[in-house]
Structure formats: C-alpha cells, structure tokens
A and B are shown apart, each in its own frame.
Chain A
Amino acid sequence: MYELSLFVLDLVQNSITADAEIIKIWLFEFESENLVTITVADNGKGMSKEVMGKAVDPFMTSKTERKKKIGLGLPFFKQLIESCEGKFRIKSKLGIGTVVTGSFPYSNVDQPPVGNLEETILSLVIANPGIDFRYTRRNDKKEKIFDTRPVRKMLGSDAEIMWQSSELMEWFRNELIES
C-alpha cells in the first residue's frame, strides 16, 4: 500500500464505521511552501482518549493489561507519514468527530505518490449514498472543490434512491475526474 489515496480510503472507512454523516477530505500540495497536507475529518462518534491512545499505538501496554491490537490502519498511516519526515496528527472528541492529518515536505524523496485519489473518492461517493463528502484539492496554482451536499439538496428526497443511477454516476464522474 504505497499510494496516498489508499490511505485516504482507509481513513474514510474509519469515518464511515464511526457513523459519520459528512466526511471532508483535503489534499494540499504547496511547492512554494514545500508542504503536502492530507486531512480526513468527520462528524462521526469520535473516540475517547483511551481508545485513541490504543489506536495510534496498538501495542501499547499497561502492567495489568495484555497487548491488545485494535487495528493497524492508523499506525500504518502514522508510520508512512513519519517515514517521509512528516507529522501525523489526530484529534477526536466523543460525539463530535475526528480529524486525522498527515503533512510532509513536498520534495521528500520517500514521498508516496498520491495515486488515483479522484477515482477513489468517486467510488466512495457512489458507494455511500447516505453520506455527504466534501473534497478539496489545492496547489499553488489552482483549487478544486467537490461537495455532495448541494447535489443532495437539489435532488431532494429522491437523492438516495437515484444516487446509483447511471445518470448521476456519470455526473459525479464528470465533476470529479473529467473536469
């Protein structure tokens, strides 16, 4: 798994599992500031300090407790970011949501390729008709924003049932990839 977009997919699945209603994804690639930042934020159920500690360092032990592994996604992402001289950050609040960010130098040699991020987001949008997504990709020259909320508003109560119609999928594809 050496593509940023696969890590984004993994982080977004965490948000989906946490019952998020809206998931926001930002990718900033600023050559001028020598900085790449990827962020996934959700309004899901969040996690306690204790769960977060275990999630980030799954082999953390206390004297009374045996080693407990609760998942490898977050440690994996943290490791990737730190291996390219980057910074991993996570903030979470029970009942409010979670924000995960990785940032690393633009010109790092170990930097993973972004991969097919727009395709990945397209599948996420289509396969999750009940969840809203906002995706922002920005570099020194331009910015691209995709947001399902105005789409849902426009389609009204029929939004979910027509979400996977070929017409709407085609529109999503045009907005995310062809434009």
Chain B
Amino acid sequence: MRRERDRPWIMRTYAGHSTAQASNALYRSNLSRGQTGLSVAFDLPTQTGYDGDDPLARGEVGKVGVPVAHLGDMRALFEGIPLDKMNTSMTINATAAWLLSLYVALAEERGVDPRVLRGTTQNDIIKEYLSRGTYAFPPAASMRLTTDLITYTVAQVPKWNPINVCSYHLQEAGATPAQELAYALVTAIGVLDAVKATGRVKDEDFATVVGRISFFVNAGIRFVEEMCKLRAFVELWDRITRERYGVTDPKLRRFRYGVQVNSLGLTEQQPENNIIRIVLEMLAVTLSKDARARAVQLPAWNEALGLPRPWDQQWSLRAQQILAFESDLLEHEDLFNGSPVVEARTRELIEEAWAEVEDVLEHGGAIEAVESGYIKQKLVESNAARIARIEAGEQIVVGVNKYEKGAPCPLTENLDDAILTVDPAVAEAQKKALDAWRSARDEGAVREALDRLREVARTSDSLMDASIAAAHAGVTTGEWAGALRDVFGEYRAPTGVAGATLHSPSSGAAAETVAELRERVAALAERMGRRPKLLVGKPGLDGHSNGAEQIAIKARDVGFDVVYEGIRVTPEHIVASALEEGAHLVGLSILSGSHLELVPSVVEQMRAAGLGDVPIIVGGIIPDADAAKLRSLGVARVYTPKDFALNAIMSDLVSLVSDTHAA
C-alpha cells in the first residue's frame, strides 16, 4: 500500500562569484537544471560593508561570492529572473538591511509589489561574532539593524523570512550538538526579545513574528545523533515559543529550518570520500519526517581544496535528487517515532542544551555572552578537543588517521584544475564599474540620503525606509556601511583564545610529545634569552579563524608567547605588531583565497621594516602551485588542512625559530 509522496525539500546550491553578470549567468543555468531556489553568496567586501575599491577589499573582490555595490549590480544579478516568482535566499548579515533594501528597490523599479517577494535574509549577527566573522558594527547596533529588518518585513513583505538563526556556523567552529542547540536558541531568544523591545509590534501580532523565525542548522557525520539533535530543536523551540512568548497556534511554533551539512569534517586527503560523508549527513536532516529540513544545500567533494566548480556542485545536487526522487523516503511517515533509542538520545541533548540556555540567559543573554567572550571561548575549547581526538587517533577519519594509503584518485590527477579560480582582473573591472556608477549618479541626492541615514541612525527609528531611499539614490554598499560606522563605531569581537584551556592528554604518546616540545621551547628560551614569541596574523577580510585560534592556543600550550589579534587586520597592522612585539616568527592564516595578494604584501613590508630575518609561515587553503610561489617569495613554510597534526607543526616552528635566531 503506497501513500502519496511528500513534497521534497527545496534544493539549493550556494553560488555566486566574480561579477553580478557572471553570477546571473550561473543562476540562470542552475535554474534551468532543476534547482528550485536561489542562494546568493556575496563576496566578503559586500558582506562586511566595503566597496570593491576600498583598500580593505584587497584580494577579495568577487572571490568567495558576488560583489553587489549598488542598485546597478542588483539589477544585473537578477537580469531575466522574475522577482515575483523567485525564492531568493541571501547569505547576508551585517549588511542584510542594505541588501534587502537593494532587492526591494529593484522590485519597486520593476513594478513588482514588495509584498509578493519571497526569500530569506540570513540576518543573524550573533553567530558572526562567534564564528563567521562578517560583522561590521558593535553588537547592540547590529541587533538594532536586525530588528529593523524583521519589523519591516513582517509588516511590508509578509512572505519574507527575515532571519535565519544559524547554528550551522557554530558547529563549523567546533560546537558540540548540545552547544549548537543552546547557542542558536539563546540567539533566537535574544532577537525576539529585542524585537519586542522596539515596541513596533502589537502584542497580538507578536505570534506572527515568532512564526517568521527560521533556522539554518548543521548536520555532521554522527548522523544518528544529529537527527536526534534536530528532534531536540523541534521540541525546545516549541517549548520556548509556548512558554516564553505565549504562542498558542502550533503552526507558528513549528521549527522551520534549512540545512547546509558539515564541511569542517571534509578532508583534503582522499577528497573523493567526502561525497559519502555528505550523503550520510544529508540523511540526518531528511530521514525523520517530523524533523525534516525545508531546504538543503550540500557542500562539494572538493570542499577542502578550494571553491567548487559547477560540476562539483551538480554532483552534490544529484545526491539530493536521487534521495528525494528515486528512493522511497518521501512515501513514509516518520520512521523514528516511538524509537526508545532515538527518544533517549534526544532527551539527553534536550537536557544538556537547556541547562546551557538557562545559564546564558541568567548571565545576561546572547549579546552579553558574545561581548564577554564566554561562548566564543567554549567553541574554541570544543574545537581543540575535537582536533586533539583526531590527532590522537581516538576519532577516526578515514583517509586521514586511518586507511591513509590507497590508489591514486583520478579526480585529482590535475589538482590545479580541480577547483574554481576567479580571475584577478575582476577586481579591476569592479573598480572601473564603481567609478562609472559614481560619476553617473546625482551626488546631491546621494549626500542627502546618507545624511538622512546618519540622522535616523542616531534615533531609535527603523533604518529601513532611509536605506531603501538610499538604494534608489545610488548609494553604494561601502557608503551605506560607512555612514553607519560613523554613528555606531566599529567593533572587534573577542577571540576566545586567551582564557581557553586546552585539555592536553596527561599520559600516552601525545602527552610525551607535548612534554618534549615544552622542554625544547624552554631550552630555546634559555639560549635566546627570552621565550620564542609567535605573532599569528589574519590579514584581509577572511573570517576563518579556527586554524589561527588552534595554532595560537597550541603554541601557548607548548610554551610560546603568542600574540593573536583576531580576524581582519591589514598587512600594515601585522608588520607593525611584529615590530613592536619583537616577534620571532610571524604566522599568517588565510583561507578565503586572497593569499597571493596579501602574503607578498606582508613579506615586502616586513623587509622594509628591517624584519627580513623574521621567518614568515602561512597556513590555510593554499593550492600546491600557490604554495610554491609563496615559498619562492621567501615564505618559510606553508601548511594546509592535511597538516592536521598540531604537534608536528609545533615541532617545525620550534626548529624554525631555533635555526633562525639561535643557530
């Protein structure tokens, strides 16, 4: 007996690069291949509120996403795509209110009523401070922009999902399942409380706002537990919406979520194995009908190598299509209801997560826990524990610490072509286009719009109307964010490393290695007269901090004095710090692909500052050919994800300092 099939989830591919025109072509071809919604990836300057010609945008324009600097770019991005029919998801946060303003302005221009627009703005700033790194303003000001967007769409664009509360990025920064649950839920509570505090939503309408909140979650390789985590989410959200916000309509209490499955566990070694991991992880969010995702996007098999090509993404999309359309999954009711095993694990997660939720709320809530660095430190610690388990072989990763040997993979025969590369000429083109845009617009109107923006920013009124007006006036992304930076100031989030404790093993081989490393460092300190000092720098707009954090706390653990200033510093800043601090070693961490622009700049400036004798090492997503280039410029060592053994890296660093400064 066969029941009617359920409707499948929305299948998305996260995409965008180079220019609005190039991304538009990509979207149109994806749509023609059966993709059912758009998921826009913006480049880092757009995400952090800079124009492509800003010095801070160096090396980043069009790299990891599409640059959208003004209404003209928005027009080009959606050329030939009907806005009233499209479901558009935008991964945008600090500048979400601005990108939505551009989208609304475009709709207005085309005569499309904003009320019919459908889609999602990620708009979750909390996890930006904790993991993702594309914040622009201090937490309170950012939260205000978040609520401005929410109250605007609830009233004016009712089908829009104004916020996607993200637990995805927390897991990518090391969160355990319970931590992922807890910190996403305190974020949602923080946002809803803030919306309430605006006083713009009538009490009787508040349930509607609650109903508009959706989530963006992660699913890792322990897919049974991950499925339980999703069931825990469903139950906890029901509890919170009922008890804290008094929502009576069960439909408005439903936990609506989209997914991107885990990428942190995808490996550089034997990358073909990743497709299997991806499929298993997809099961976690699809198997249980009662906790099934509404939208799924999958990473690609070559995740740890670099940006995916269209074919790589298509392979992952096929995995979804096969599960949804070939298998019988969608013919069944929930498979796990009543399973004592699933039920028990779900209960445990609920209890553990709820205790943490209460703890954070007692200590002032999400913003407070961001500012104090409390959550960030927890994540850094969890990630350190995860990495230590892999290094010690306690957590098996096939192809990494077990079954490392195998036949060569034909997919990576030509490694340099196995990823997407963005033409560096894109940056120049974007600069020219910006000049052209600026010279064609009415400067008076722009100035007026920006003044108005600053003026409203100083009040507690919503910034949406002023932003939409600015979009029509031709204001650029950098100008919009710049005006708000004038009023709100800037912010640097806690790094979480200073207080993070590393639970290094007290016995066994790993413990011996650490003890030995400490002895070597102590001996080196004696020979040099002071402890070796490592400066860990993250140049550019890249927000991938995991690697830098783990290197920093590990280096301290073996006896280095370590200076780490957090993400998003300029090469100039790094060189000044190296000089002032008397660093013996400068380590740069770059994962966003801008290493060929930024590393040479640091190398040159170090020499100019008389620090040519301080070795520079680089870590991150660095293709082999680029690594060779960097070495030829004088970089002493290059590390990539396959160098997962931190002890081995540390041993290297000690030798390097010893050879350079104490030979």
Query: A and B: real partners?
Result: no
Contacts from B to A (Cβ < 8 Å):
none
Contacts from A to B (Cβ < 8 Å):
none
